[in-house]
Amino acid sequence: MKIRVNPSQAVGRVTAPPSKSMAHRQLIAAALGQSPRAVENLEWSEDVLATLDCLRALGASVERTGHGAVLGGLDPFAVPEGAVLPCRESGSTLRFLLPLALLSGRTVTFTGSERLLERPLEIYEQICAGQRLFYDRQRDRLTVRGPLKPDEFSLRGDLSSQFVTGLLYALPFLDAPSRITLLTPAESASYVDMTLAVLRNYGIRIVSVGPDRFHIPAKQKYRPHPVRVEGDWSNAAFLEALNFLGGNVQVQGLDALSPQGDKVFRTLLEALRKKKPVLDVRNCPDLAPILMAMAAAAHGAIIQGTTRLQYKESDRGTVMAQELEKFGIQAVPEADHIWVEDGTLRTPTQPLDSHNDHRIAMALTVLLTLVGGELRHAEAVAKSWPGFFDVLLGLGILIERVEETAIEDGPGI
């Protein structure tokens, strides 16, 4: 889908969408309860739907109810033999559920896009090799078979916090205690804090020994706990960025006490008003695309802690640099930082491309509200926020769909 965004300012009041990161965690914990409980306030994004489909495939009772779901009854020791879990493009779904799939000793296959199966999984591969468990990774699928055993799990902390979360969900079921030790400093540690907060609500005890070591007691059970998913600070950053460009948007439904690390976005956006600030996204990498876009609209920036951007839905630092060049702005991705140069923003003379990445699509759309232009493969926003363009239209942003020729509308990147 190609859209045209005309120069316009956003004005109005809007409620932040539900947090996708919290939704994954709440849904999995609810499914592991012995009796069904409701998880309210869900956005039916592609990633959330993938998690629901996979929980159902593992044997959970799942019923959608308007803007929520009722889940429960998942026994990870009794998953169906040969279960196939369709993860689509959701890295959270795959990494969160893989350790649970290893508990039963039955064969489970995860499917997904090629890009998903290209993303780092070696931590789980090493665990399976160390415990002599079956692990077969192909271009579009990953097949595993346990049973996973209690252990001292030592893993890198700088690759993704999602591996820690996946283990924290599964290890409490085992019949002896386990430990997780991070061999390198944790990045995105706030995401582990989110996991720990959800697990506490469901009666699961994890003992944190500093930021890099976790003790997981054995033989625990998930206590059913009805919840409402909180607002998403990650996606709210795109709304607040409209204010950075001169809009007047009031964003409601955000919890100031949330463990979400991306709530730092207001501080980072304010810093961009200075000349060439230095920003660190090590603990909030999902903010990098919108910060790069706003740096292009302001005075440039140096954005640090960007190594893991290459492992996202796209190589975000590289593709944002490619798209910003169409605005006349130079950006240079290097080993662990990105330079966004100061320059004069101009209207792109060729369509931008989302590279099939939802956060790239949203960041570029926000920047286009300033100078206008076209964006191809805009449908990528459905991965986390299907209603994004409707919300912008409601705020007065001028967006229209553009018909494409067969050649223009070829396969996405």
**How far apart are the two ends of the chain, measured CA to CA in Å?**
13
Task: Choose the catalytic residue: 47, 262, 286, 357.
Answer: 286
Q: Where are the domains of the chain?
A: 2-17+231-402, 20-228
Asked if residue 277 has pLDDT above 50, the reply is: yes
Residues 6+ apart with CB under 8 A from 278: 301, 302, 304
Which of 252, 249, 325 is closest to 292 using CA atoms?
Answer: 325
pLDDT band at 413 (very low <50, low <70, confident <90, very high): very low
Instruction: Check residue 188 and give its pLDDT.
Output: 80
Asked if residue 279 has pLDDT above 80, the reply is: yes
pLDDT band at 410 (very low <50, low <70, confident <90, very high): very low
Asked if residue 28 has pLDDT above 60, the reply is: yes
Q: What is the mean pLDDT of the chain?
A: 95
- How far, in whole angstroms, is CA 267 from its chain's centroid? 21
Peptide bond into 224 cis (omega under 30): no
Summarize pLDDT for 84-134 with one digit per residue, the tens.
Answer: 999 999 999 999 999 999 999 999 999 999 999 999 999 999 999 999 999
Instruction: Check residue 405 and give its pLDDT.
Output: 62
Instruction: Check residue 307 and give its pLDDT.
Output: 92
Instruction: Check residue 138 and give its pLDDT.
Output: 93
2-17+231-402 and 20-228 agree in CATH topology: yes
Q: 3-class secondary structure for 23-73? A: HHHHHHHHHCCCCCEEEECCCCCHHHHHHHHHHHHHCCEEEEECCEEEEEC
Instruction: Check residue 322 and give its pLDDT.
Output: 98
pLDDT band at 228 (very low <50, low <70, confident <90, very high): very high
Q: Which two tokens stand for residue 19?
A: 């947090």
Please give the CATH architecture assigned to the domain spanning 2-17+231-402: Alpha-beta prism (3.65)
Greatest alpha-carbon span in the chain: 62
Of residues 158 and 324, more confidence is placed in 324
Asked if residue 411 has pLDDT above 60, the reply is: no
* 20-228: CATH number: 3.65.10.10
pLDDT band at 186 (very low <50, low <70, confident <90, very high): confident
Asked if residue 341 has pLDDT above 70, the reply is: yes
Asked if residue 291 has pLDDT above 50, the reply is: yes
Asked if residue 152 has pLDDT above 50, the reply is: yes
286 is catalytic: yes
Summarize pLDDT for 188-221 with one digit per residue, the tens.
Answer: 889 999 999 999 999 999 999 888 999 999 999 9
The mean per-residue pLDDT over the stretch 296-300 comes to: 96
Of residues 235 and 308, more confidence is placed in 235
The mean per-residue pLDDT over the stretch 171-177 comes to: 98
